[in-house]
Structure 1
Amino acid sequence: MRFTILDCYTDEPSGLGVPPYLITYPRYIAGAILKYNRDNIKGNNESNNKENNINQNIDDTQHDYFYLTIDDIRLHKFYNGKIKNTATTNIRIANLSKNYPNIQKILDSTDILIVVGGVQTPGKYLSALPGTLAEISMFIKDLKCLKVLTGPSAMAGEGLFGGRLATQQNTAMLKYGFGLVIPNLEYKFDLLMANNFSEDVQATNMYKFIREQAILGAEIVKQHPQYSEFMIVDVETARGCNAATCSFCTEPVKNAFMLRPIQDVVDECIALARNGIKNIRLGKQADFFSRSPQQIEQMLKAIVDNCKPEILHIDNVNPRFVTEEKTKLVVEYCTPGNVAAFGVESFDPKVIALNKLNADADSTLNAAKIINKYGQVRGSNGMPKFLPGINIIFGLEGESKETQQYNMVNLKHMLDNNIQLRRINIRQVVVFEGTQMAAVGSKFIKKNKKRYWSWRNQIRQEIDLPMLRKIVPNGTIMTGLRTEIHDGNTTFARQIGSYPLCVGIKQKLLLNEWVDIKVVGHMLRSVTGEIVKS
């Protein structure tokens, strides 16, 4: 049986799978296939060599897989395989997997197409565009294989655009032509094989069941568009949320809170490193600081000692769990340019209370001070070693004109007191079934829709711009940037890592090259730079 894993990219409150990131789902599924082969096929102790077996005949006792991206499908189906020479990079087809040259053979020989997708925290992506259920169904409707949806879309639906109701997972079969919608497929693979993928099954999603899969599936990285130096993998350290109260969040809907065993995390990172991965983000969790300082040091030290990553970053920190001891460990073991994303969402006390948000203004301010105390020092790549970032969501229950005033007062206080914020993510809420916001719906989205862009612009102009001038003043040398896309005669480049700063260079440079730059100007959320000759 031949499986094709179609990566349509994912973005969740905890976890990012939009290139150059590779999220857990394709890795775990690949590992499940390899583990099944190992356990059930006599004499099969080898992983698949994808470069050699595309023409291999697969019988009922053999199972292999291929990895494709939504960009592969778009280029093949929509653009007829032709990439036009345009002044601006077409990010719809910028991320072609290593398997694209054989895409027709792969699709023709596929027995089961496993589609991984789901954007639940919509954002703007520099060099990729996630696929939606509607788009995917249009491209795969004529394929004769069984089509299975998994990933975040199968657990809680998707919402690529803020300020709207989410597309629900139960419409995927009725409206979009999927034969099965299977949440947590990676935990159920053996049972699904037993019933020949005839229906979904119940299974316990305990970490012990995917320990080996995570290690075996690390080999899939070799099929990724940016393998190996330009890609970064998001590694899971926990699921669910230790707070589990925020009105809008899908994490408690998808999973109960559970910490992944530290040795499992370390062993997966070792397997990834052995497969050529140099850049790791411990980002698939709601709160990296939910562990004790001793546990955090055990994990970070083991990864550094055994993997020696070029980039080691984290993501997602609950301000209430920030301590000096934990912060110093991240600064010591991780690489510069690191960011702790705070899910603040609002500084308005009424909004905080009604939506059961996980931090108030005082705890956020205190946490930001601690991280700045140890992380503001500039690192070897030109960026501060470790800074907080803040998420702001508009459209939550209880929002009023006063909400923006609270936001601005607190953000201005941080700016005036040199409490640096690496970035402020601002978006409108997406309403998902199963969350508290489902009962509220779009009431406050509609009420304040006309104010959203002015509120957003005020933060960009009065906070983001002067903050960026503090973090990377003119003359700052930034090293190790990948030239990523063209926009006319401007090249945009970024470092690899968590929330890397975008740099516009007024030259048309070759893409996928490493450059160093000097900062010469500032935009609202990016900087302009000039090439520095080494």
Structure 2
Amino acid sequence: MEAEKSIPHVVLIDGYIDDPAALGVPPYISPMIRAVAGAAVDAGGRVTYLSIDMLRQGHEIPDADVTVLLSGNTVPGKYLRSMPMSLKEIREYLPKMKGWKLIGGSSAYAPEAEGFDFRIHRDLAASLYDGMTGKEVGERFRTLDEWNRWMLLGADIVKEHQDFPQPLMVEIESYRGCHRYASGGCSFCIEPTKGKPLMRQPEDILAEAKKLRALGVCNIRVGGQTCIISYGSEDFSSGVPRPVPSKVRQLFEGLKALGFEHISVDNANPAVIATYPEESS
């Protein structure tokens, strides 16, 4: 019992995010909240996951050493199943949060976030990990090794989501950043601000997908990337990268073999398809 008490308790509140490249409003669960969970576990913590819908239904926020909120809708849409946490709800629930408090997502820019100890604008998972391991809570992006490790360690929280196993749709990221980062990319998208693409290898993505399938996940969406056809391309200068079909094929054939009921994908640059029709087909 004493050993359990010595393990930091981290409460994750999923207020839902809606980014152009990564969906997180139900029935979707964002890869960002799973990365935060993985970072907490990697730092030696035990995690309790709560969604804003669970709080709306009367769940209490438990005692914690750290409370982390991920929330915000960068590109508001029409939601059919739920709504992201409102600023009014942030004001309501903030006094009930225990321990030191971090907030990430676009809500971190709102005045309502001033009551948190840390307002994180880059990578909530990386900042949490640094704070829990005795480092300064600053702004940085996770490394590729951290990224792959945290997606495995944080996978289990999908079972706590109110939509698990159906109709939950689990977002899986293939890379961050944008091949058009130098020009600023699309005006509505935040990915170009993350710089040139950092690619996850097919075997790392498939390892995450395999664990999710073993947990009982039925549906996945390959998101996070600005152009799935450009996945695997290391042409970072042209803005219209030549596709690498072998990488895309390896990824999707591997996903298909895992037996998910539904696999969807989002985001492709029409200029890449028009410039390289043979490689894109």
TM bracket, shorter-chain basis: 0.7 to 0.9
Give the match for residue 130 of structure 1.
Answer: 84
Structure 1 residues 284-318: Cα deviation after superposition (integer angstroms, max 9, x where no partner)? 2111111311110011111112x111111100111
Structure with greater Cα Rg: 1
Give the match for residue 193 of structure 2.
Answer: 253
Alignment equivalent of 1:211, drawn from 148, 156, 164: 148
Structure 1 residues 403-449: Cα deviation after superposition (integer angstroms, max 9, x where no partner)? xxxxxxxxxxxxxxxxxxxxxxxxxxxxxxxxxxxxxxxxxxxxxxx
Q: Which runs of 5+ in 1 are unaligned?
A: 38-62, 77-102, 155-168, 329-534
Residue 312 of structure 1 pairs with residue 263 of structure 2 = yes
Letter in 1 for 2:253: K
The 1:120/1:270 distance shift into structure 2, 3 A limit, reads same
Residue 28 of structure 1 pairs with residue 35 of structure 2 = yes
Structure 1 residues 308-345: Cα deviation after superposition (integer angstroms, max 9, x where no partner)? 111111001110122555665xxxxxxxxxxxxxxxxx
Letter in 2 for 1:194: T
| Paired residue secondary structure (1:65) | strand
Shift of 1:250: 2.2
Residue 19 of structure 1 pairs with residue 21 of structure 2 = no
The 1:326/1:217 distance shift into structure 2, 3 A limit, reads farther
Shift of 1:254: 4.4
Shift of 1:238: 1.3
Give the match for residue 94 of structure 2.
Answer: 140
Q: How do 1:36-185 residues align onto structure 2 when only pairs under 5 Å count?
A: 36-37=43-44, 63-76=45-58, 103-104=59-60, 107-154=61-108, 169=109, 171-174=111-114, 177-182=115-120, 183-185=122-124
Runs of 4+ in 1 over 6 A off after TM superposition: none
| Paired residue secondary structure (1:125) | coil
Indicate conservation of the 8 Å contact 1:172/1:181, yes or no: no
Shift of 1:201: 2.2
Indicate conservation of the 8 Å contact 2:174/2:199, yes or no: yes
Shift of 1:3: 1.0
Structure 1 residues 37-88: Cα deviation after superposition (integer angstroms, max 9, x where no partner)? 3xxxxxxxxxxxxxxxxxxxxxxxxx31111111222232xxxxxxxxxxxx
Give the match for residue 186 of structure 1.
Answer: 125
Shift of 1:36: 2.6
Q: Matched residues in 2 for 1:314 and 1:189: separation?
A: 29
Indicate conservation of the 8 Å contact 2:63/2:98, yes or no: no
Letter in 2 for 1:67: Y
The 1:144/1:208 distance shift into structure 2, 3 A limit, reads closer
Q: Matched residues in 2 for 1:310 and 1:147: separation?
A: 38
Give the match for residue 11 of structure 2.
Answer: 4
The 1:74/1:207 distance shift into structure 2, 3 A limit, reads same
Shift of 1:205: 2.5
Q: Matched residues in 1 for 2:133 and 2:57: separation?
A: 35
Q: Matched residues in 1 for 2:46 and 2:55: separation?
A: 20
Indicate conservation of the 8 Å contact 1:12/1:152, yes or no: no
The 1:284/1:247 distance shift into structure 2, 3 A limit, reads closer
Indicate conservation of the 8 Å contact 1:147/1:180, yes or no: yes
Indicate conservation of the 8 Å contact 2:27/2:168, yes or no: yes
Shift of 1:127: 1.2
| Paired residue secondary structure (1:128) | coil
Q: Matched residues in 2 for 1:172 and 1:21: separation?
A: 25
Letter in 1 for 2:200: R
Give the match for residue 417 of structure 1.
Answer: none
Alignment equivalent of 2:253, drawn from 301, 322, 338: 301
Q: Which runs of 5+ in 2 are unaligned?
A: 1-7, 232-243
Indicate conservation of the 8 Å contact 1:25/1:151, yes or no: no
Indicate conservation of the 8 Å contact 1:239/1:284, yes or no: yes
The 1:276/1:152 distance shift into structure 2, 3 A limit, reads farther
Letter in 1 for 2:12: I
Indicate conservation of the 8 Å contact 1:31/1:213, yes or no: yes
Shift of 1:229: 2.7
Aligned residues: 256
Indicate conservation of the 8 Å contact 2:172/2:221, yes or no: yes
Indicate conservation of the 8 Å contact 2:28/2:169, yes or no: yes
Shift of 1:172: 4.8
Give the match for residue 166 of structure 1.
Answer: none
Give the match for residue 179 of structure 2.
Answer: 242
Structure 1 residues 431-487: Cα deviation after superposition (integer angstroms, max 9, x where no partner)? xxxxxxxxxxxxxxxxxxxxxxxxxxxxxxxxxxxxxxxxxxxxxxxxxxxxxxxxx
Q: Matched residues in 1 for 2:195 and 2:85: separation?
A: 24
The 1:302/1:134 distance shift into structure 2, 3 A limit, reads same
Q: Matched residues in 2 for 1:150 and 1:280: separation?
A: 24
Shift of 1:222: 0.5
Considering only aligned residues, what root-mean-square deviation do their CA atoms show, in Å?
A: 2.1
Q: Matched residues in 2 for 1:255 and 1:66: separation?
A: 32
Q: How do 1:473-488 residues align onto structure 2 when only pairs under 5 Å count?
A: none
